[in-house]
Structure 1
Amino acid sequence: MIDNSPILPEVAVIGLGKIGLTLAAVFANNGYKVYGADKNKDVVNQVNAGKSHITNEPGLNQLVLQAHDNQMLFATDSNIEAVSKAKIIVVIVPVFVDENHAIDYQFIDAAVQDIGKGIQKDSLVIFETTLPPGDTKERFGKEIERQSGLGMGEDFYLAYSPERVYSNRIIEDLKNYPKVIGGVNEKSLELASDFYKQALNCELMKVSSLETAEFSKVAECVYRDVNIALANELAQFAEQKDIHISEVISASNSQPYSHIHAPGIGVGGHCIPIYPYFFINRGLNEGLTPLSRKINDSMADYALSKIENRIDTLRNKNVLILGLSYRGNVKEPTQSTTLLLIDQLRDKQANVFVNDPHFSNSEIIQFGALPLSLNNKFISEVDAIILQAFHKEYESLTFKDFKKCKLVFDGRNKWKEEEITKLGIQYEGIG
């Protein structure tokens, strides 16, 4: 029997982090031979053994193993090697902001230089990394031109399609979220659309330009940051009026045009606390966007001030933070509010302990806190508890063994106040 199915081009995925590895595995299981590149040799060795170094992404281990067994997924620590073997290059290398909120391009700049050195004529390069509008063409497309001597839109094609997924459900989100795609010209848009239609089998949303696609991803994050800042502002005002904000939000959001988010002790992760600066640093330095950043970053300080009002001083107090991760049920400390809490509590000379079932004791120590198991007898010496990330392990937490605890600060408004106060422990939340 003759196989008339089309021969698909090889794909290079540059960056095998949580999203990059998932993309590579999905592509490989949809008929593409994939060469993944990552500078971490341990990651490369695991992928080449059919194993995922990402431990908390449902379904990923099986996809990586299947792709490996079918000889459709390979890994290398050389970007140039991967790019030279492929006709489609997908870039998912992170961009950060530093402590001064300046954009840090060091990793992606190095990767793009490698792409320029290894690229073949007529290849398609797609950036999925969240970027400030204009960077795909003006920073990276032109750098590939300089390194390769090829012309953008003529000798190689360039597209942008932002990742729009959520940790712990990336595979599901790749199927269900529309794939926004922009190209440097019509041919680039067409090639990228054909690729994603086959590689992801998801709905496509073509937009008019690279810059539109770039802008859309940052705008998503700004929207959420502004909405959370609004919720935090309303929560603080509700407290002044002795009103429970959670009840207000439920009532308000029963109107279909109201979508007030939940307030909280802070905003973390790779997206919301970082990507608004892609607009702020490019001229949007007044108005709601920078103000929302200030409000959300101030919530850790606000929480500690509420705790101090209840227990007088934090000096020499044993404070237990629940959750090193920035949010519940993931292992991800990036921009976590816990890091702000640790620094501020140490400045106030408190004894800082952290519990997080997703992290080892040695990992917690690296962030400047002492690990504390909830089975350790020392929990009876804890003076205050702060809930920062609501992991499933905390859903049924009882407080009877916290004999000296004076206050529980529910930074995610998840626990029932009456169950805590009946033990003689004060309860505080956000709003």
Structure 2
Amino acid sequence: MMMDQNQSLPNVAVIGLGKIGLTLAAVFANNGYNVFGADINSDVVSSVNKGISHVKNEPGLDQLVSDAHKSKTLSAASSTTEAVAQSDITVVIVPVLVDKENNVDYQFIDAAVEDIAKGVKQGSLIIFETTLPPGDTRNRFGRKIAEISGLRMGEDFYLAYSPERVYSNRIISDLQHYPKVVGGLNTKSLELASNFYKKSLNCELIEVSSLETAEFSKVAECVYRDVNIALANELAQFAEEKGVHMSEVIGASNSQPYSHLHSPGIGVGGHCIPIYPYFFINKGLEQGLTPLSRKINDSMAGYAISKMEKEIDSLKDKNILILGLSYRENVKEPTKSTTLLLIEQLRRKNANLFVNDPMFTDKEIEKYGAIPLSLQDPLVSEMDGVILQAFHQEYSHLDFKKFTNCKLVLDGRNQLNKNEIIESGIKYEGIGG
């Protein structure tokens, strides 16, 4: 059930209350809107209706959710149709990922769109914020809503696309400081969406000429990063062949304003960079830098294992500890983490596989087929090798003297103290020399 709302404010539905959806809902609810949130997870709905954020480590979000709850401008329910029926504007932020074959997986958003279509009313504005392959807002979702509702797209209801461009752990700040790219189905759609974001986010807007331009711009951002990381990884491997330190090269090269070499690493993970390039690849961009970059970045886990084998020889029955299940530092997020690729390859090598990650419980780590290991456990003295995958702040002062049997520390993020590790009698290897 939706709770009583402030009846004097305009109503907005936010469909999907994950990290970004809940943050958007809370910001809207503190900026002059009644927000009806919808999510298929009943625990999320219950939490929001108590004024409690289920999303942790997001600065400012706890307070925004609490404030909106007190002012009765934010509530949640499991019924998307009900939330949409009570609102003039609907913002959709339901995940779209890829499956094991890297085909786009629409199951959650398709179901949400059907429910939206059952609740949409005359004059409504529907904005998609989920990252999508170009063309989907109009051709897949707009048409489906029109077909089910019987309303005419662009006349009876309006359609816009505005990609989220935020980063975990700083979403509220990014919403204020990053320009909001907005594209509309027609002039009226763009006008309605722009007016909404001006009021609800009070940020700079970049109005683009079409839905497809806005969709393309978000995927292009991710492809740019993937390609440049792949270049850094390729150059890092070549630098190692030539006995050159890539970190020194980056510092020297980037002193010239037209060079922006990225940092090499053990791989790329998360909801964005390893996923969204396939939104272009699967639409026909099958040759060139975009698919090649995916292959290079996903190959870095294998490259790391080969570096380890050179020092330890056979990994069969060796105790290998991976530091970090998360795809990156200081977040709890395993999606497309390089650790999953490392686990897969180390299993094939018949290594004894251990994982430490302070963000996850032992049970959560065990689900991924690894043995959880506390850094306080005496068993650390029996590790033959250590791989740093995510440089959580807890790893910045690791005492490697405890790793008495360790032959190699492979620093997949080039962040550990090389001298301390060497002084502990352990071989140190980074990515790029």
The aligned counterpart of 1:330 is 331
The aligned counterpart of 1:209 is 210
| Separation in structure 2 between the aligned mates of residue 332 and residue 229 of structure 1, nearest angstrom | 22
1:13-412 → structure 2 map (5 Å cutoff) = 13-412=14-413
| Separation in structure 2 between the aligned mates of residue 246 and residue 396 of structure 1, nearest angstrom | 21
| Separation in structure 1 between the aligned mates of residue 68 and residue 10 of structure 2, nearest angstrom | 16
Deviations 1:54-94 (A, max 9, x none): 11111111111110111000000010010000000000000
TM-score by length of 1: 0.98
Q: Following TM superposition, by how much is the alpha carbon of 1:120 offset from its aligned partner in structure 2, in angstroms?
A: 1.0
Name the count of aligned residue pairs. Answer: 426
Of 115-124 and 419-428, more deviation after overlay is shown by 419-428
The aligned counterpart of 2:4 is none
User: Are 1:421 and 2:422 matched, yes or no?
Assistant: yes
- Residue type of the alignment partner of 2:260: H
Q: Following TM superposition, by how much is the alpha carbon of 1:417 offset from its aligned partner in structure 2, in angstroms?
A: 2.0
| Separation in structure 1 between the aligned mates of residue 68 and residue 239 of structure 2, nearest angstrom | 53
Deviations 1:202-249 (A, max 9, x none): 001000000000000000000000000000000000000000000100
RMSD: 0.9
Deviations 1:83-136 (A, max 9, x none): 000000000000011111111101000000111100011000000000000000
Deviations 1:243-264 (A, max 9, x none): 0000100111111111111000
| Separation in structure 2 between the aligned mates of residue 213 and residue 242 of structure 1, nearest angstrom | 44
- Residue type of the alignment partner of 2:139: E
Q: Following TM superposition, by how much is the alpha carbon of 1:8 offset from its aligned partner in structure 2, in angstroms?
A: 4.2
| Separation in structure 2 between the aligned mates of residue 128 and residue 298 of structure 1, nearest angstrom | 31
| Separation in structure 2 between the aligned mates of residue 314 and residue 70 of structure 1, nearest angstrom | 59
Q: Following TM superposition, by how much is the alpha carbon of 1:418 offset from its aligned partner in structure 2, in angstroms?
A: 2.1
Deviations 1:268-307 (A, max 9, x none): 0000000000000001000000000000000000000010
Identity %: 72
Deviations 1:314-358 (A, max 9, x none): 111111100000000100000000011111111111111111111
| Separation in structure 1 between the aligned mates of residue 236 and residue 400 of structure 2, nearest angstrom | 26
Deviations 1:11-66 (A, max 9, x none): 00000000000000000000100000000000000000010111111111111111
In structure 1, the gaps of 5 or more residues are: 1-5
| Separation in structure 2 between the aligned mates of residue 381 and residue 56 of structure 1, nearest angstrom | 33
- Residue type of the alignment partner of 2:310: N
Q: Following TM superposition, by how much is the alpha carbon of 1:7 offset from its aligned partner in structure 2, in angstroms?
A: 5.3
In structure 2, the gaps of 5 or more residues are: 1-6
TM-score by length of 2: 0.98
3-state DSSP of counterpart to 2:358: coil
| Separation in structure 1 between the aligned mates of residue 19 and residue 417 of structure 2, nearest angstrom | 34
The aligned counterpart of 1:3 is none
- Residue type of the alignment partner of 1:312: D
